[in-house]
Amino acid sequence: MAGAFRNRRANCPRANDTYEHTYIRNNPLVPTKLSNSPLFVHYGNDRFTEILVQESVVDLAGRHSTVFFIATDQGRIFKVIKNAVEAEAQHVSSVKAVEASSPIVSLTAHIERRPNQQTARKLLILTPTQVSL
């Protein structure tokens, strides 16, 4: 078993060369560096079960931000907003979506198209016993 953990470069059919390392370093998959500090901290008995992220949401003032909807095992949904300029996100609201004993299993954004060319965005909440919009 110990032989499986030995690094034998001669047995490796495709070892990365310097060009590949340089290309990977200069062309990252994520354009910005991620911070190692948390965006949002919640102190309580709730445990996060689902996270729905909506990027580039424009508010009434014209600012772009990222909106997080965080579902918990206690039936709550936290709305957290992170502006492009601030490093930390702000907790905006908490909603008791379902009864406390049922955890939220899935959280999805639903876009409803209306006849007057407008759209209405709603959250589709799925628990083990019910579906709510």
Is the residue at 87 inside a domain? yes
pLDDT in tens, the chain (133 residues): 445 545 555 555 565 677 777 887 788 777 766 677 777 888 888 888 888 888 888 888 888 888 889 888 888 889 888 887 776 787 788 888 777 677 888 888 888 887 887 777 788 888 877 777 7
The string of DSSP letters for 55-92 reads: EEEE-TTS-EEEEEEEEETTSEEEEEEEESS-SS-EEE
How many structural domains is the chain composed of? 1
Boundaries of domain holding 60:
48-132
Is the residue at 23 inside a domain? no
